[in-house]
Structure 1
Amino acid sequence: MFKYPPIGLHFSVNFIGLVALMPGIPDIGFQEVTGLDVTVTTEEFKEGGENRFSHKLPTTATFSNITLKRGMLNHSQLISWFKKGVEEFHFTPSDLLITLLNEDHVPLHAWNVVQAYPVKWSVTGLNAQEPQLMVEQVELAYQYYRAIPII
């Protein structure tokens, strides 16, 4: 039986350990998650006597920052966590669990993001001519992520 690829519109983002640091309702609802990617950098070596090509060998993996986007909230664990980092310069890393869900809320894919911390916060501009929803974006740096197999 043919199965279509999953649609990326139903997902959750859970901050593991953030509830203990910042009490309140957990932040899990986001409109968009971007930046879940990795690039392997390579180093080029030339071999003496071999002029046709050079050898490319992998060196390190580089992970992009993750950006979370959603409608702006008045009270939020995530923003309190970010403010503590900016105002007190005390950053407490937190792991994230990003889960892609199907229409029955059953996990299809999951990614564990390790040691994330906020590095940027922004909101859409204010404009009296256009009634737009205020959208906030939080950018997170992290060490690495790993895919979690779903059985």
Structure 2
Amino acid sequence: MIQELTTPMVGYRFAALITSAAIPNPIDIFFKEISGLKVSRSIDYEGNRVSIKNERQTRTLTFKRGVLRTGSTLEITNFISLPQWNQFAVRNDILITLLNDNNLPTKAWLVTRAFMESWEWDSLDATRNDVLIESISFSYQSLVTVPIPFT
């Protein structure tokens, strides 16, 4: 038990649940890579006086995975709203969960009020034999750690 508490967690077993307009998408959860989990604050120095700036910083959370043949639920939802891409932004709440050997959550982060910023595909290259990777980026300001009770 003590060894489990002091052993670092692995970063290769995870899932992400992305909600679009408050509707969860439990099918579209597996990604190759997630980057951009970050919490920071601005410190202002004026002589010997230190203060914390109240402005919220915008971060970018990026998801990468292989392009699916049938299209993902996230892709279909985005395709439907594509005509209004420049007119409105859909709010997304994103729950990122680190999983143990039994696929149970061990650590989790919640990103609230994220907005899709971009969707990008790797270069098409006839000289490579790789999986085509798509990158989906969200702009966010709020990230909180979600407590997971010990199991």
**TM band (smaller chain):** 0.7 to 0.9
Whether the 8 Å contact between 1:19 and 1:26 is mirrored in structure 2 is: no
Structure 1 partner of 2:51? 57
Q: What's the CA shift for 1:67? A: 0.3
Greater radius of gyration (CA): 1
Residues 1:80 and 2:83 are matched in the alignment: no
Gaps of 5+ in 2: none
RMSD: 2.2
TM-score, length of structure 1 as denominator length: 0.82
Residues 1:69 and 2:64 are matched in the alignment: yes
Whether the 8 Å contact between 1:37 and 1:63 is mirrored in structure 2 is: no
Q: What's the CA shift for 1:16? A: 3.0
Q: What's the CA shift for 1:77? A: 2.2
CA offset digits 1:58-110 (Å, max 9, x no partner): 11442521000000124122223444555313321121110001011111101
Letter aligned with residue 78 of structure 1: L
Whether the 8 Å contact between 2:98 and 2:106 is mirrored in structure 1 is: yes
Q: What's the CA shift for 1:120? A: 1.1
Structure 2 partner of 1:111? 109
Whether the 8 Å contact between 1:25 and 1:77 is mirrored in structure 2 is: no
Runs of 4+ aligned structure 1 residues displaced above 6 Å come to: none
Secondary structure in structure 2 of the residue aligned to 1:79 = helix
Secondary structure in structure 1 of the residue aligned to 2:53 = strand
CA offset digits 1:3-54 (Å, max 9, x no partner): 3100011111001356848xx87210101000000221112223xxxxxxx3
Residues 1:7 and 2:10 are matched in the alignment: yes
Q: How far, CA to CA, are the matches of 1:131 and 1:84 in structure 2?
A: 31
Number of residue pairs the alignment of both structures matches: 142
Q: How far, CA to CA, are the matches of 1:143 and 1:85 in structure 2?
A: 23
Q: Percent identity?
A: 26
TM-score, length of structure 2 as denominator length: 0.82
Letter aligned with residue 72 of structure 2: S
